[in-house]
Amino acid sequence: MTAYLLRRLLGTLPVLLLITLLVFALLHAAPGDPASLLLSDATNEADVLEARQRWGLDRPVHVQYLKFISAAFTGDLGRSFRFAQPVTELIAARLPATIELAALAVLLALGVAIPLGVWAGARPNSWVDNLGTSVGLFGISMPNFWMGIMLILLFAGTFHLLPSAGRSTYGVAGSQESGFYLLGSLAAGNWPAVKDALMYMVMPALTLGANMVGILMRITRSSVLEVSHEEYVVTARAKGLAQRSVVWRHVLSNALIPIVTVAGLELGTLLSGSIIVETVFAWPGVGSLLITGVTSRDYPLVTGLVLMYAATFVVINLAIDALYAIIDPRIRY
């Protein structure tokens, strides 16, 4: 299996290069000059030309791209025009917030979708099945930005139970060098900070995970319903095994392949979908950083972030391929 994963990894390199090429070309084709956008209105033409020369924008596009790619292979994604910092440092500072938010959204989605999907698949056409189908349709159909705004209006504006924006209350958490507010507070045993972190995370995590709940619940239901008609399941029931044992031991274990596939792909989608959610809730993650980079035509920042998203999808797909052989021993590459 190691050889297979290495082949898959090597096969993704041209994909990453193509993605960076498309992003680089589209950014340069879009109207707007970064030097004119980022410099103040009081600057003259000489200052704009000096800034373009300092950032390398006076060179041909293909020369800029080759310089970016050659530096990216060494781990250098360039320097941000807007923040005047290395792109890798900006991503490293914002990424923990996005990881924590996506992880909580995935945990909430798995905790709701899989039990509900298994229950609905084990009892088709029952009230549980109808409830699960309704929840699934709601999660799939609900736009993230609309759901986020509604949650803010309800829980922050009407009932005043949760904060509407941000990540933490000033002075509660203390110093968090790693950037992981919730995990760092748990490790330090700072329970007021843990409560504070969860209060800020619950609404964006619900908004981010709602779509995953709908998709994963329907996939789980369909997979469980399909496996329930297999001969070994009928034999297990004929031997007198309890319904709970049949469903959770024999049915679910053989229905995990499509569930794991969709869960892994949705995890990558959560990271990219967090762009909208982070904007709605003013969450200081890489999604809001990408929006800032796009609006200011920050070429190195946008290209580096898109490359990070693409690499994340690659890693998730490789992890899914490795899990297949663990879940089902019959699979051999």
CATH number of the domain that residue 259 is part of: 1.10.3720.10
Contact 255, 220 (CB under 8 A): yes
Of 212, 217, 223, 231, which Cα lies nearest the Cα of 253?
Answer: 223
User: Averaged over 60-70, what is the pLDDT?
Assistant: 86
For residue 61, pLDDT beyond 70: yes
Length of the chain counted residue by residue: 333
The Cα–Cα gap between 333 and 325 comes to 8
Overall average pLDDT of the 243-253 stretch: 82
Closest by CA to 156, choosing from 91, 88, 206, is 206
Please count the other Cβ atoms lying within 10 Å of the Cβ belonging to residue 54.
Answer: 12
DSSP for 161-176?
Answer: -S-SS-S--TTTS---
Residue 6 domain flag:
no
d(C-alpha 72, C-alpha 165), whole Å: 34
Q: Mean pLDDT over all residues of the chain?
A: 84
Please give the pLDDT value at position 150. 92
Within a domain: 34: no
**Whether the predicted pLDDT of 175 surpasses 80:** no
CA pseudo-torsion sign 324, 325, 326, 329: positive
* 60 within some domain: no
Cα distances (Å, whole numbers) of residue 264 to 44, 213, 281, 312, 324: 51, 13, 25, 11, 12
| Residue 294, helix vs strand vs coil | helix
Cβ atoms 213, 145 nearer than 8 A: no
Counted domains in the chain: 1
Q: What is the pLDDT of residue 292?
A: 87
Nearest to 165 by CA among 176, 153, 179: 153
Of the two residues 12 and 70, the one the predictor is more confident about is 70
Stated pTM of the model: 0.84
Say if 223 falls within a structural domain: yes
pLDDT in tens, 119-153: 888 888 888 888 888 888 888 888 888 899 999 99
Q: pLDDT digits over 205-246, tens only?
A: 999 888 888 889 889 988 888 888 888 888 888 888 888 888
Residue 166 lies in a domain: no
Residue 70 in any domain: the answer is: no
Q: Looking at the predicted structure, is the pLDDT value of residue 1 above 70? A: no
258 falls within a domain: yes
For residue 170, what pLDDT band results from cuts at 50, 70 and 90?
A: confident
Domain that holds residue 115: 95-159+206-295
Asked if residue 230 is part of any domain, the answer here is yes
